[in-house]
Chain A
Amino acid sequence: DAGVIQSPRHEVTEMGQEVTLRCKPISGHDYLFWYRQTMMRGLELLIYFNNNVPIDDSGMPEDRFSAKMPNASFSTLKIQPSEPRDSAVYFCATLLGAEQYFGPGTRLTVT
């Protein structure tokens, strides 16, 4: 298995632009998580899905952020419009039983 796949690995965009981050989970893993990592705030859980259904989005910082999981093989995290303070590494992770697996992350820079 290729593990959790995220794309793009790096994204540089200008303030105000829309950004879409993508995640392909490990097949058969029924939970999917989106995290954000910054120096100031550490690792934060943004949202998680169970069987493609959003369960808890209380970590989503504001309405500019949205996440979808249209099927078991794909999830997106969208920021519209982006702001410089959104610059961070965004990780997607999946869970099967008690084991969580992280993707390689997307490093987002908003200028």
Chain B
Amino acid sequence: ELKVEQNPLFLSMQEGKNYTIYCNYSTTSDRLYWYRQDPGKSLESLFVLLSNGAVKQEGRLMASLDTKARLSTLHITAAVHDLSATYFCAVGNNDMRFGAGTRLTVKP
């Protein structure tokens, strides 16, 4: 069974700092997703990574995928308060499995 592990589960950062969230998964998969969820809200798609070495960037967030290591990273550059949210990775084609989420708090 596919298992997805995220770390850290909780992350408190100062504004302006950089940090990386990690997503490891247990079996080969063609797709990896990153989502953002604000409290009480639905999930917002951030990135879809479809191939080994894929890198995508949007604003202060950059996601990468290493299918050989079964690892994806979500890198945050110069964090701002608006990035405070819970971030999920998910792996799979149609039967997706989600990580537990990383609750990010960015402090001024």
A interface size (C-beta, 8 A): 21
Give the number of chain B interface residues (Cβ < 8 Å). Answer: 20
Render B68-108 as a binary contact track against A, CB cut-off 8 A, 1 for contact.
Answer: 00000000000000000000101000111111110000000
B100: which of A31, A42, A48, A98 is its contact (CB, 8 Å)?
A42
**Which of A42, A56, A91 has the most B CB atoms < 10 Å from its CB?**
A42
Q: Is the CB of B95 within 8 A of A45?
A: yes
Q: How far is the CB of B83 from chain A (nearest CB, A)?
A: 20
Binding site for A on B (CB under 8 A): 31, 33, 35, 41-45, 48, 50, 88, 90, 94-101
Report the minimum CB–CB distance from B85 to chain A (whole Å).
14
Whether, in the assembled complex, A17 has its beta carbon less than 8 Å from a beta carbon of chain B, the answer is: no
